[in-house]
C-alpha cells in the first residue's frame, strides 16, 4: 500500500521572474513557484489509482517525489509502512517507476536492457531468466527482444521500459502516461498488463489524460489542480461530487468548483 500525505514542493524562481507580478497562477509568490502545495492520496493492494489534472497542475512533480528523484519540502510518502522520504533507498527498491523521460540504452537489445536492470536489483541465474521470460510473454515482446533499443518503435520501447520498471517485483508501480502516443494494439496490451498487476495485488498509480482508461482500470482517482488535491476517492464518489455520470463532465465540474473533496 502507498499513502501520500500533505506533499509540498517549491522551486526558486529565475532572476528574470522575481519581479514579475503579472502571473495568474497564485503558486508564484515570494520568489518561489509552489508547484505542489498539498497533495494527498492512498492506493491499496490490488487497486489502481488514476492521477488526473490539467497540464501544469503538479502531477509530474508529485510523481518525481514518489520516485525519490525529488525530496518533498513537507509531507510524507509511506509504502508498506516505510517512510521513503526519510529512507529513499528503500523507496527505490519498493517502487517500479516509469516516467515520460525514461530512456533505454540504445546499443543494448530489449532483452539486454531488461536483464541489466534485473541484475541491478540483485536477480541472477534461474530467477532472473524466469522473471524476464514471464514479462516478455505478458508484454508480447517476443518479436523484438533481440533488436537494439535504438531501432525499436515507440510501442516496443514503452513495453521494454515497463518490463525494466517492474522486473524486481516492486511493492508499488507508478506509471506516468504509459499509453501516450501508442497504437491501439500496444495500448491494449499495456492496459491488460496493468490489469495483471492488479490481479497480482500490486498497487498501481498512473497518470493519464485519457478518462476512458480511468473508466476501464481505476478503482479510485486523485485530481490535482494548481498543486492541490481537489478530489481523492472512489470513482463513484468522483461522479457524485462532480455531479455527473460522465467522467469528463465530473472532472470539469470539480476543477471549476475549486474546493477540496478529500
Question: Tens digits of per-residue pLDDT, 55-113?
Answer: 889 999 999 999 999 999 999 999 988 999 999 988 888 999 998 767 899 999 999 99
pLDDT value of residue 259: 64
At residue 253 the predicted structure's pLDDT band, cuts being 50, 70 and 90, is very high
Radius of gyration of the chain (CA): 19
Over residues 37-60, the pLDDT tens digits come to 999 999 999 999 999 999 889 999
Residue with cell 541472477: 124
128 or 181, greater pLDDT: 128
Helix, coil or strand: residue 140: coil
pLDDT-derived band at 20 (thresholds 50, 70, 90) equals low
pLDDT band at 22; cut points 50, 70, 90: low
How far is CA 38 from each of CA 7, 137, 170, 178, 245, rounded to the nearest angstrom? 5, 40, 26, 25, 27
Inter-residue contact 231 to 254 (CB < 8 Å): yes
pLDDT value at residue 156: 94
Alpha helices (runs of H) in 121-231, residue ranges in sequence order: 125-138, 154-166, 184-199, 211-217
Place domain 2-101+171-257 in its CATH homologous superfamily: P-loop containing nucleotide triphosphate hydrolases (3.40.50.300)
83 closest CA partner among 68, 97, 69: 68
Q: How far apart are CA 225 and CA 228, in angstroms?
A: 5
131: buried, middle or exposed (CB in 10 Å: 19+, 13-18, 0-12)?
A: buried
Asked if residue 150 has pLDDT above 80, the reply is yes
Indicate the pTM of the whole model: 0.87
Q: Residue 79 in contact with residue 94, Cβ under 8 Å?
A: yes
* CA distances to 106, 115, 163, 173, 187 from 119, in Å: 18, 6, 13, 19, 28
pLDDT at 124: 94
Which residues share a beta bridge with 12? 32
Q: Tens digit of pLDDT for each residue in 192-234?
A: 999 999 999 999 999 998 999 999 999 999 999 999 999 999 9
Place of cell 540504452: 105
Grid cell 476501464 — which residue?
A: 216
What confidence score (pLDDT) does residue 173 get?
Answer: 95
Q: Where are the domains of the chain?
A: 2-101+171-257
The pLDDT value recorded for residue 24 is: 66
Distance of alpha carbon 204 from alpha carbon 62, whole angstroms: 15
Contact 173, 157 (CB under 8 A): no
Calculate the alpha carbon distances from 161 to 91, 123, 230 in Å: 19, 17, 31
Task: Specify the pLDDT at position 14.
Answer: 80
Q: What pLDDT score does 18 carry?
A: 62
At 165 the three-state DSSP class reads helix
> CB count, 10 Å around CB of 250?
23
Q: Which residue in the block uniquely carries the three cell numbers 516492486?
A: 170
**In the block, residue with C-alpha cell 485519457:** 210
Count other Cβ atoms within 10 Å, centred on residue 129.
13
Amino acid at each position: 500500500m502507498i499513502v501520500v500525505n500533505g506533499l509540498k514542493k517549491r522551486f526558486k524562481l529565475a532572476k528574470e521572474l522575481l519581479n514579475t507580478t503579472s502571473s495568474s497562477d497564485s503558486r508564484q509568490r515570494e520568489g518561489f513557484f509552489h508547484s505542489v502545495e498539498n497533495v494527498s492520496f492512498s492506493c491499496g493492494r490490488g487497486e489502481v489509482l488514476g492521477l488526473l489534472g490539467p497540464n501544469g497542475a503538479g502531477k509530474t512533480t508529485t510523481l518525481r517525489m514518489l520516485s525519490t528523484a525529488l525530496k518533498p519540502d513537507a509531507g510524507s510518502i509511506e509504502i508498506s509502512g516505510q517512510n521513503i522520504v526519510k529512507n529513499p533507498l528503500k523507496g527505490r527498491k519498493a517502487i517500479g517507476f516509469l516516467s515520460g523521460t525514461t530512456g533505454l540504452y540504445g546499443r543494448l537489445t530489449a532483452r539486454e536492457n531488461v536483464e541489466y536492470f534485473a541484475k541491478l536489483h540483485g536477480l541472477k541465474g534461474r530467477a532472473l531468466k524466469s522473471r524476464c521470460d514471464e514479462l516478455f510473454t505478458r508484454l508480447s515482446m517476443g518479436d523484438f527482444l533481440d533488436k537494439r533499443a535504438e531501432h525499436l518503435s515507440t510501442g516496443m520501447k514503452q513495453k521494454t521500459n515497463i518490463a525494466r520498471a517492474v522486473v524486481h517485483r516492486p511493492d508499488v508501480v507508478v506509471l506516468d502516461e504509459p499509453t501516450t502516443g501508442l497504437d491501439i494494439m500496444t495500448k491494449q496490451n499495456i492496459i491488460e498488463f496493468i490489469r495483471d498487476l492488479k490481479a497480482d495485488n500490486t498497487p498501481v498509480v498512473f497518470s493519464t489524460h485519457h478518462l476512458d482508461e480511468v473508466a476501464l482500470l481505476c478503482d479510485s482517482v486523485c485530481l490535482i489542480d494548481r498543486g492541490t488535491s481537489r478530489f481523492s476517492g472512489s470513482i463513484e464518489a468522483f461522479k457524485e461530487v462532480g455531479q455527473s455520470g460522465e467522467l469528463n463532465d465530473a472532472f470539469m465540474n470539480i476543477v471549476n468548483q475549486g474546493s477540496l473533496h478529500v
